[in-house]
Amino acid sequence: MTFKEFLALVKSDIDLKKHWFLKNDTPFNKNVRVWLEPGTIAVVVYRFGHWTNHVKVPILKQLLRLIYILGKSVVVLGFGIYIPSRFKMGKGLAIHNFSGIFIPPTTAGDNLFVFQNVTIGHLRGQGGRPPKIGNNVFLGAGAKILGDITIGNNVVVGANSLVMNDVPDGCTVVGVPARVVSKETTWIQEKLDGVGDHW
């Protein structure tokens, strides 16, 4: 990953957050305040850390990793958000609220929406493999995604739901344990149409 690619990913994250949460907000909130929100800072620090993994010059890499570790410490201790630099995420990561968010070193596609108290983790006895997340996935507040499972594309996980089984594309799941309540979830893609055409 080049530095230019790192900047492009950060831009995709900010554009997504503006379009989804701040589309009708004031110019100040869309262009200044958005950069000061804990969720945005956490995403930028994660993207920076992921980029430093690809730096080739050893001395420069160590210096950049030190900066990343300091930034990550602020994000974890100050905001309660844990996203490791080994997490592989496509473009468009939006964390709207903060606190109690845990994401392991797993993989996710484009456009992931995360609210407060979301946990993505592995289960003992499954080889430590965490869930894999598809494109256009919305994780409501308090959602728990656990185990060696796959969350498909265009999936909504309702608030406080516990997901321990695969979720097919286009589904909305709610409850403990989560159950499918809709197999025709299209509103995420519809709302995303037109976002990031310039990415």
Q: Mind telling me the catalytic residues?
A: 122
Structure tokens at 14: 């900010």
Q: What is the C-alpha to C-alpha distance for residues 84 and 46, in angstroms, rounded to an integer?
A: 7
Q: What is the C-alpha to C-alpha distance for residues 35 and 13, in angstroms, rounded to an integer?
A: 11
Furthest C-alpha separation in the chain: 53
At 40, which amino acid appears? T
Q: Are 71 and 47 in contact (CB under 8 A)?
A: no
Q: What is the C-alpha to C-alpha distance for residues 171 and 188, in angstroms, rounded to an integer?
A: 11
Q: What is the C-alpha to C-alpha distance for residues 97 and 141, in angstroms, rounded to an integer?
A: 9
CA angle 12, 14, 15 (to 5 degrees): 65
Q: What one-character DSSP code corresponds to residue 130?
A: P
Of 158, 155, 166, the residue nearest 189 (C-alpha)? 155
Helix, strand, coil share (%) of the chain residues, nearest 5: 35, 20, 45
